[in-house]
Amino acid sequence: MTAETLIQANRSTYAPKTLPAVFSITAGNGQGVASRGPGALPDAPSSQDAGRHQQLTLKAPPAVDPGPYTIGIGDVVVLSTPATQNTVQELSGLLAAQNSRNGYTVQDDGSVNIPDVGRVRIAGMTVDAAEDLLFQRLVENQFDPTFSLEIAEFKSRRVSIGGAVGNPRIVPITLTPLYLDEALAAAGSVSVSDIDLGSVRIYREGRLYEIPLTDLYARADLQRTRLIAGDSVFVDTDYQLDRAESYFEQQIRLTQTRLSGRSQALDELTAQVQLRRADFVEGRDNFESRLSHGAVDQDYVYLTGEVVSQSRYPLPFEQRASLADALFDSANGVAKETGDVSEVYVLRASSDARELGAVTAWHLDYRSAANLTLATRFELRPNDIIFIAENPVTKWGRTIQQITPSLITTPIVAAAN
Protein backbone atom coordinates (compact mmCIF):
# COMPACT_ATOMS: atom_id res chain seq x y z
CA MET A 1 0.00 0.00 0.00
CA THR A 2 1.51 3.29 -1.18
CA ALA A 3 0.26 6.82 -1.63
CA GLU A 4 -0.42 6.09 -5.31
CA THR A 5 -2.39 2.90 -4.70
CA LEU A 6 -4.28 4.61 -1.88
CA ILE A 7 -5.45 7.32 -4.30
CA GLN A 8 -6.61 4.63 -6.75
CA ALA A 9 -8.49 2.77 -4.02
CA ASN A 10 -10.31 5.90 -2.87
CA ARG A 11 -11.41 6.82 -6.39
CA SER A 12 -14.25 4.32 -6.37
CA THR A 13 -17.56 6.08 -5.92
CA TYR A 14 -19.30 5.65 -2.59
CA ALA A 15 -22.06 7.55 -0.82
CA PRO A 16 -22.45 6.70 2.89
CA LYS A 17 -25.91 5.78 4.10
CA THR A 18 -27.78 8.75 5.50
CA LEU A 19 -29.72 8.93 8.73
CA PRO A 20 -33.46 9.68 8.55
CA ALA A 21 -34.37 13.36 8.45
CA VAL A 22 -35.70 13.10 12.00
CA PHE A 23 -32.08 13.09 13.22
CA SER A 24 -31.29 16.40 11.49
CA ILE A 25 -34.07 18.69 12.67
CA THR A 26 -35.01 20.11 16.04
CA ALA A 27 -38.35 20.84 17.62
CA GLY A 28 -37.59 24.57 17.52
CA ASN A 29 -37.44 24.71 13.69
CA GLY A 30 -40.50 25.64 11.73
CA GLN A 31 -43.24 28.15 12.04
CA GLY A 32 -43.80 29.65 15.48
CA VAL A 33 -47.09 30.78 16.91
CA ALA A 34 -47.97 34.23 15.69
CA SER A 35 -47.99 37.03 18.22
CA ARG A 36 -51.36 37.75 19.68
CA GLY A 37 -52.80 41.14 20.54
CA PRO A 38 -56.02 42.72 21.72
CA GLY A 39 -56.51 44.77 18.55
CA ALA A 40 -56.62 48.53 18.14
CA LEU A 41 -55.91 50.84 21.06
CA PRO A 42 -59.13 52.02 22.76
CA ASP A 43 -60.08 55.64 22.22
CA ALA A 44 -58.79 57.95 24.92
CA PRO A 45 -61.39 59.62 27.16
CA SER A 46 -62.62 62.90 25.76
CA SER A 47 -61.34 66.14 27.24
CA GLN A 48 -63.91 68.87 27.92
CA ASP A 49 -63.34 72.54 28.61
CA ALA A 50 -62.52 73.34 32.19
CA GLY A 51 -65.27 74.73 34.35
CA ARG A 52 -63.19 75.52 37.37
CA HIS A 53 -59.67 76.35 38.32
CA GLN A 54 -57.69 74.27 40.75
CA GLN A 55 -54.19 74.72 42.07
CA LEU A 56 -51.70 72.67 40.07
CA THR A 57 -48.71 71.08 41.79
CA LEU A 58 -45.47 70.24 40.04
CA LYS A 59 -44.54 66.62 40.65
CA ALA A 60 -42.08 65.62 37.95
CA PRO A 61 -40.99 62.00 37.55
CA PRO A 62 -37.47 61.18 38.70
CA ALA A 63 -34.67 61.07 36.16
CA VAL A 64 -34.12 57.60 34.72
CA ASP A 65 -31.46 55.93 32.60
CA PRO A 66 -32.71 52.55 31.32
CA GLY A 67 -29.42 51.97 29.50
CA PRO A 68 -28.94 51.02 25.85
CA TYR A 69 -31.87 49.74 23.83
CA THR A 70 -32.41 45.99 24.03
CA ILE A 71 -34.35 44.00 21.45
CA GLY A 72 -37.81 42.96 22.58
CA ILE A 73 -40.76 40.82 21.51
CA GLY A 74 -42.48 42.25 18.44
CA ASP A 75 -39.46 44.14 17.13
CA VAL A 76 -38.60 43.53 13.49
CA VAL A 77 -34.88 43.06 12.84
CA VAL A 78 -33.23 43.17 9.45
CA LEU A 79 -30.14 41.28 8.30
CA SER A 80 -28.37 43.34 5.65
CA THR A 81 -25.75 41.53 3.58
CA PRO A 82 -23.38 42.95 0.94
CA ALA A 83 -23.70 42.22 -2.74
CA THR A 84 -21.89 39.17 -4.13
CA GLN A 85 -20.04 39.04 -7.44
CA ASN A 86 -21.52 35.76 -8.60
CA THR A 87 -24.95 34.16 -8.70
CA VAL A 88 -24.10 31.36 -6.30
CA GLN A 89 -25.45 32.40 -2.93
CA GLU A 90 -23.54 31.25 0.15
CA LEU A 91 -26.34 31.87 2.62
CA SER A 92 -29.74 30.53 1.59
CA GLY A 93 -32.55 32.88 2.51
CA LEU A 94 -30.22 35.77 3.40
CA LEU A 95 -28.17 36.57 0.29
CA ALA A 96 -29.37 37.66 -3.13
CA ALA A 97 -27.61 38.81 -6.28
CA GLN A 98 -27.77 42.39 -4.98
CA ASN A 99 -27.86 43.85 -1.49
CA SER A 100 -30.45 41.93 0.55
CA ARG A 101 -32.55 43.08 3.48
CA ASN A 102 -34.76 40.47 5.13
CA GLY A 103 -36.89 41.26 8.14
CA TYR A 104 -37.56 38.84 10.98
CA THR A 105 -40.08 39.47 13.78
CA VAL A 106 -39.01 38.60 17.32
CA GLN A 107 -41.56 35.96 18.38
CA ASP A 108 -43.17 35.48 21.76
CA ASP A 109 -40.38 33.18 22.92
CA GLY A 110 -37.84 35.94 22.24
CA SER A 111 -36.32 34.36 19.15
CA VAL A 112 -36.20 34.88 15.40
CA ASN A 113 -36.46 32.00 12.95
CA ILE A 114 -33.78 32.24 10.23
CA PRO A 115 -33.92 29.82 7.26
CA ASP A 116 -31.27 27.05 7.39
CA VAL A 117 -30.08 28.34 10.78
CA GLY A 118 -33.08 27.82 13.07
CA ARG A 119 -34.38 29.79 16.01
CA VAL A 120 -32.00 32.23 17.66
CA ARG A 121 -33.06 33.89 20.93
CA ILE A 122 -32.07 37.58 20.83
CA ALA A 123 -34.69 39.23 23.06
CA GLY A 124 -33.11 41.24 25.87
CA MET A 125 -29.88 41.78 23.92
CA THR A 126 -28.41 44.96 22.55
CA VAL A 127 -27.98 45.18 18.80
CA ASP A 128 -24.23 44.54 19.13
CA ALA A 129 -24.73 41.49 21.36
CA ALA A 130 -27.39 40.06 19.04
CA GLU A 131 -25.13 40.64 16.05
CA ASP A 132 -22.32 38.73 17.78
CA LEU A 133 -24.65 35.80 18.58
CA LEU A 134 -25.97 35.64 15.00
CA PHE A 135 -22.38 35.77 13.72
CA GLN A 136 -21.53 32.75 15.88
CA ARG A 137 -24.61 30.79 14.75
CA LEU A 138 -23.88 31.46 11.07
CA VAL A 139 -20.30 30.28 11.52
CA GLU A 140 -21.51 27.12 13.31
CA ASN A 141 -23.78 26.38 10.34
CA GLN A 142 -20.91 27.03 7.88
CA PHE A 143 -22.42 30.15 6.31
CA ASP A 144 -20.65 33.32 5.30
CA PRO A 145 -21.26 35.56 8.35
CA THR A 146 -20.84 38.86 6.51
CA PHE A 147 -23.89 40.90 7.51
CA SER A 148 -25.09 43.79 9.65
CA LEU A 149 -28.06 43.79 12.02
CA GLU A 150 -30.58 46.62 12.18
CA ILE A 151 -33.94 47.15 13.85
CA ALA A 152 -36.46 48.05 11.16
CA GLU A 153 -39.57 48.36 13.35
CA PHE A 154 -39.63 49.21 17.05
CA LYS A 155 -42.68 47.58 18.59
CA SER A 156 -41.61 46.23 21.96
CA ARG A 157 -41.12 49.51 23.86
CA ARG A 158 -43.76 52.20 23.48
CA VAL A 159 -45.31 55.17 25.21
CA SER A 160 -49.01 56.08 24.90
CA ILE A 161 -50.02 59.72 24.45
CA GLY A 162 -53.65 60.77 24.99
CA GLY A 163 -55.90 63.57 26.16
CA ALA A 164 -55.73 67.10 24.71
CA VAL A 165 -53.28 66.41 21.89
CA GLY A 166 -53.72 66.72 18.16
CA ASN A 167 -53.39 63.00 17.43
CA PRO A 168 -53.53 60.56 20.36
CA ARG A 169 -51.21 57.70 19.51
CA ILE A 170 -48.61 55.18 20.56
CA VAL A 171 -45.03 56.44 20.18
CA PRO A 172 -42.27 53.81 19.91
CA ILE A 173 -39.00 54.07 21.80
CA THR A 174 -36.08 53.58 19.43
CA LEU A 175 -32.31 53.42 19.79
CA THR A 176 -32.31 57.08 20.77
CA PRO A 177 -33.96 58.22 24.03
CA LEU A 178 -37.54 59.54 23.85
CA TYR A 179 -38.19 62.81 25.66
CA LEU A 180 -41.49 64.38 26.68
CA ASP A 181 -41.37 67.28 24.20
CA GLU A 182 -40.63 64.89 21.32
CA ALA A 183 -43.46 62.56 22.33
CA LEU A 184 -45.96 65.43 22.52
CA ALA A 185 -44.81 66.69 19.13
CA ALA A 186 -45.25 63.22 17.63
CA ALA A 187 -48.84 63.20 18.95
CA GLY A 188 -49.67 66.49 17.26
CA SER A 189 -48.60 68.76 20.15
CA VAL A 190 -50.71 70.02 23.04
CA SER A 191 -54.13 71.32 22.04
CA VAL A 192 -55.44 73.60 24.82
CA SER A 193 -56.98 77.05 24.82
CA ASP A 194 -55.41 78.14 28.11
CA ILE A 195 -52.09 76.67 29.26
CA ASP A 196 -52.76 77.98 32.79
CA LEU A 197 -55.50 75.38 33.10
CA GLY A 198 -53.62 72.46 31.64
CA SER A 199 -51.16 69.86 32.86
CA VAL A 200 -49.34 66.79 31.68
CA ARG A 201 -49.83 63.71 33.80
CA ILE A 202 -47.45 60.78 33.49
CA TYR A 203 -48.43 57.36 34.79
CA ARG A 204 -45.36 55.23 35.44
CA GLU A 205 -45.06 51.91 37.29
CA GLY A 206 -48.10 52.55 39.50
CA ARG A 207 -47.28 56.22 40.29
CA LEU A 208 -48.88 59.37 38.93
CA TYR A 209 -46.75 62.45 38.17
CA GLU A 210 -47.97 65.91 37.16
CA ILE A 211 -46.30 68.75 35.25
CA PRO A 212 -48.34 71.96 34.80
CA LEU A 213 -48.11 73.28 31.24
CA THR A 214 -46.87 76.67 32.51
CA ASP A 215 -43.92 74.92 34.18
CA LEU A 216 -43.37 72.67 31.17
CA TYR A 217 -43.03 75.58 28.74
CA ALA A 218 -40.94 77.63 31.17
CA ARG A 219 -38.33 74.98 31.93
CA ALA A 220 -36.23 73.19 29.35
CA ASP A 221 -35.30 70.43 31.81
CA LEU A 222 -38.98 69.49 32.19
CA GLN A 223 -39.42 69.39 28.43
CA ARG A 224 -36.46 66.98 28.28
CA THR A 225 -38.05 64.57 30.76
CA ARG A 226 -36.99 61.17 29.55
CA LEU A 227 -39.80 58.66 28.98
CA ILE A 228 -39.43 54.92 29.38
CA ALA A 229 -41.31 51.93 28.03
CA GLY A 230 -44.78 51.58 29.51
CA ASP A 231 -45.26 55.27 30.34
CA SER A 232 -48.74 56.70 29.73
CA VAL A 233 -48.89 60.45 29.10
CA PHE A 234 -52.21 62.28 29.42
CA VAL A 235 -52.68 65.98 28.69
CA ASP A 236 -55.45 67.23 31.00
CA THR A 237 -57.18 70.60 30.61
CA ASP A 238 -59.94 70.54 33.24
CA TYR A 239 -58.27 68.95 36.27
CA GLN A 240 -60.78 66.16 36.45
CA LEU A 241 -58.48 63.50 37.75
CA ASP A 242 -61.04 60.75 37.31
CA ARG A 243 -60.88 61.32 33.53
CA ALA A 244 -57.12 60.91 33.51
CA GLU A 245 -57.37 57.90 35.79
CA SER A 246 -59.87 56.37 33.38
CA TYR A 247 -57.36 56.77 30.58
CA PHE A 248 -54.60 55.18 32.63
CA GLU A 249 -56.94 52.34 33.59
CA GLN A 250 -57.52 51.69 29.92
CA GLN A 251 -53.79 51.50 29.37
CA ILE A 252 -53.40 49.05 32.25
CA ARG A 253 -56.21 46.82 30.95
CA LEU A 254 -54.73 46.96 27.46
CA THR A 255 -51.31 45.93 28.75
CA GLN A 256 -52.81 43.08 30.77
CA THR A 257 -54.74 41.87 27.72
CA ARG A 258 -51.60 41.91 25.59
CA LEU A 259 -49.63 40.05 28.22
CA SER A 260 -52.39 37.47 28.53
CA GLY A 261 -52.44 36.99 24.75
CA ARG A 262 -48.68 36.58 24.62
CA SER A 263 -48.74 34.12 27.52
CA GLN A 264 -51.36 32.05 25.74
CA ALA A 265 -49.41 32.14 22.48
CA LEU A 266 -46.23 31.12 24.30
CA ASP A 267 -48.08 28.20 25.95
CA GLU A 268 -49.32 27.09 22.54
CA LEU A 269 -45.82 27.36 21.09
CA THR A 270 -44.39 25.34 23.99
CA ALA A 271 -47.03 22.66 23.48
CA GLN A 272 -46.26 22.49 19.77
CA VAL A 273 -42.53 22.19 20.44
CA GLN A 274 -43.14 19.40 22.97
CA LEU A 275 -45.34 17.51 20.52
CA ARG A 276 -42.76 17.89 17.76
CA ARG A 277 -40.00 16.78 20.11
CA ALA A 278 -42.03 13.71 21.13
CA ASP A 279 -42.54 12.82 17.45
CA PHE A 280 -38.81 13.16 16.78
CA VAL A 281 -37.87 11.04 19.81
CA GLU A 282 -40.31 8.35 18.73
CA GLY A 283 -38.97 8.40 15.18
CA ARG A 284 -35.37 8.13 16.38
CA ASP A 285 -36.23 5.32 18.83
CA ASN A 286 -38.01 3.42 16.06
CA PHE A 287 -34.99 3.76 13.79
CA GLU A 288 -32.58 2.62 16.49
CA SER A 289 -34.84 -0.35 17.28
CA ARG A 290 -34.95 -1.34 13.60
CA LEU A 291 -31.18 -0.92 13.42
CA SER A 292 -30.62 -3.21 16.41
CA HIS A 293 -32.81 -5.90 14.78
CA GLY A 294 -31.01 -5.67 11.44
CA ALA A 295 -34.02 -4.21 9.64
CA VAL A 296 -32.10 -1.18 8.33
CA ASP A 297 -30.07 -1.28 5.14
CA GLN A 298 -26.50 -0.68 6.35
CA ASP A 299 -23.07 -1.17 4.79
CA TYR A 300 -20.47 -3.48 6.35
CA VAL A 301 -16.87 -4.61 5.92
CA TYR A 302 -15.75 -8.01 7.14
CA LEU A 303 -12.78 -8.82 9.40
CA THR A 304 -11.20 -12.25 9.32
CA GLY A 305 -7.93 -13.93 10.16
CA GLU A 306 -6.10 -13.04 13.35
CA VAL A 307 -8.61 -10.55 14.74
CA VAL A 308 -10.18 -10.24 18.16
CA SER A 309 -13.46 -11.51 16.77
CA GLN A 310 -14.41 -12.78 13.32
CA SER A 311 -17.08 -10.21 12.63
CA ARG A 312 -18.40 -7.49 10.41
CA TYR A 313 -17.69 -3.80 11.00
CA PRO A 314 -20.63 -1.46 10.26
CA LEU A 315 -19.73 1.55 8.14
CA PRO A 316 -20.99 4.73 9.82
CA PHE A 317 -23.88 6.81 8.56
CA GLU A 318 -23.17 10.08 6.73
CA GLN A 319 -19.39 9.76 6.84
CA ARG A 320 -16.65 7.50 5.52
CA ALA A 321 -14.63 5.05 7.61
CA SER A 322 -10.93 4.37 7.17
CA LEU A 323 -8.97 1.15 7.46
CA ALA A 324 -7.53 2.47 10.73
CA ASP A 325 -11.05 2.84 12.15
CA ALA A 326 -11.70 -0.88 11.66
CA LEU A 327 -8.23 -2.03 12.76
CA PHE A 328 -8.31 -0.12 16.02
CA ASP A 329 -11.90 -0.92 16.94
CA SER A 330 -11.65 -2.56 20.38
CA ALA A 331 -14.20 -5.27 19.52
CA ASN A 332 -12.87 -6.22 16.09
CA GLY A 333 -9.24 -5.15 15.80
CA VAL A 334 -6.01 -7.09 15.40
CA ALA A 335 -5.39 -9.85 17.96
CA LYS A 336 -2.30 -8.67 19.84
CA GLU A 337 -0.78 -12.11 20.57
CA THR A 338 -1.37 -13.83 17.24
CA GLY A 339 -1.86 -11.15 14.57
CA ASP A 340 0.95 -10.10 12.23
CA VAL A 341 0.76 -6.33 11.72
CA SER A 342 3.11 -6.66 8.75
CA GLU A 343 0.55 -8.80 6.91
CA VAL A 344 -2.66 -6.77 6.74
CA TYR A 345 -4.68 -7.16 3.54
CA VAL A 346 -7.77 -5.41 2.18
CA LEU A 347 -9.63 -7.44 -0.47
CA ARG A 348 -12.17 -5.72 -2.71
CA ALA A 349 -14.27 -7.41 -5.37
CA SER A 350 -14.81 -5.73 -8.72
CA SER A 351 -17.98 -3.62 -8.99
CA ASP A 352 -18.47 -4.86 -12.57
CA ALA A 353 -20.84 -7.83 -12.60
CA ARG A 354 -19.08 -9.16 -15.73
CA GLU A 355 -15.86 -9.58 -13.75
CA LEU A 356 -17.03 -12.15 -11.23
CA GLY A 357 -14.11 -13.39 -9.16
CA ALA A 358 -11.95 -10.36 -9.95
CA VAL A 359 -10.49 -9.13 -6.67
CA THR A 360 -8.07 -6.30 -5.91
CA ALA A 361 -5.85 -6.68 -2.85
CA TRP A 362 -3.89 -4.04 -0.95
CA HIS A 363 -1.14 -5.01 1.47
CA LEU A 364 -0.28 -2.89 4.51
CA ASP A 365 2.74 -3.30 6.78
CA TYR A 366 2.14 -0.98 9.68
CA ARG A 367 5.15 -1.94 11.75
CA SER A 368 6.28 1.46 10.54
CA ALA A 369 4.38 4.46 11.93
CA ALA A 370 4.74 6.12 8.53
CA ASN A 371 2.77 3.30 6.91
CA LEU A 372 0.14 3.54 9.61
CA THR A 373 -0.75 7.02 8.33
CA LEU A 374 -1.80 5.34 5.07
CA ALA A 375 -4.38 3.32 7.00
CA THR A 376 -5.96 6.52 8.31
CA ARG A 377 -6.49 7.70 4.71
CA PHE A 378 -7.52 4.42 3.12
CA GLU A 379 -11.30 4.63 2.71
CA LEU A 380 -13.28 1.44 3.19
CA ARG A 381 -16.05 0.43 0.81
CA PRO A 382 -19.06 -1.84 1.44
CA ASN A 383 -18.19 -5.58 1.46
CA ASP A 384 -14.44 -5.02 1.75
CA ILE A 385 -12.67 -7.93 3.47
CA ILE A 386 -9.88 -7.17 5.94
CA PHE A 387 -7.59 -10.15 6.50
CA ILE A 388 -4.87 -10.32 9.19
CA ALA A 389 -2.27 -13.06 8.80
CA GLU A 390 -0.88 -14.94 11.79
CA ASN A 391 2.58 -13.97 12.99
CA PRO A 392 5.49 -16.47 12.57
CA VAL A 393 5.61 -17.38 16.26
CA THR A 394 1.95 -18.26 16.29
CA LYS A 395 2.32 -20.22 13.06
CA TRP A 396 5.23 -22.22 14.49
CA GLY A 397 3.41 -22.80 17.77
CA ARG A 398 0.38 -24.15 15.99
CA THR A 399 2.60 -26.44 13.89
CA ILE A 400 4.23 -27.82 17.04
CA GLN A 401 0.78 -28.42 18.53
CA GLN A 402 -0.14 -30.48 15.48
CA ILE A 403 3.18 -32.43 15.40
CA THR A 404 3.53 -33.15 19.14
CA PRO A 405 0.64 -35.65 19.41
CA SER A 406 2.12 -37.73 16.53
CA LEU A 407 5.58 -37.81 18.18
CA ILE A 408 4.03 -39.14 21.38
CA THR A 409 1.81 -41.77 19.80
CA THR A 410 4.36 -43.19 17.28
CA PRO A 411 6.54 -45.07 19.88
CA ILE A 412 3.44 -46.50 21.51
CA VAL A 413 2.23 -47.94 18.20
CA ALA A 414 5.71 -49.40 17.47
CA ALA A 415 5.88 -51.09 20.88
CA ALA A 416 2.51 -52.63 20.38
CA ASN A 417 3.66 -54.24 17.15
Instruction: Assess contact for 104 and 112: CB atoms under 8 A.
Output: yes
What pLDDT score was predicted for residue 197?
80
Distance CA 107, CA 187 (A): 28
Distance CA 81, CA 135 (A): 12
Task: For the chain, list the domains and their CATH numbers.
Answer: 3-15+298-401 (3.10.560.10), 70-153 (3.30.1950.10)
pTM of the shown model: 0.45
- Segment 105-112 mean pLDDT: 91
What are 272-310's pLDDT values in tens digits? Answer: 888 888 888 888 888 888 888 778 888 888 988 888 888
CA distances 196 to 50, 181, 217, 222, 286, Å, are 11, 18, 11, 16, 78
What pLDDT score was predicted for residue 228?
93
Say whether pLDDT at 399 is over 70. Answer: no
What are 139-189's pLDDT values in tens digits? Answer: 888 877 788 888 989 999 999 999 889 999 999 999 999 999 999 999 999
Which is more confident, 232 or 101? 232
Taking every pair of Cα atoms in the chain, the longest distance, rounded to a whole number of angstroms, is 147
Instruction: Assess contact for 183 and 160: CB atoms under 8 A.
Output: no
The alpha carbon of residue 260 and the mean position of all alpha carbons in its chain are separated, in whole angstroms, by 27
Distance CA 318, CA 376 (A): 18
What are 228-242's pLDDT values in tens digits? Answer: 999 999 998 765 555
| Residue 351: pLDDT band with limits 50, 70, 90 | confident
- Per-range mean pLDDT, top range of 111-120, 236-245, 397-406: 111-120
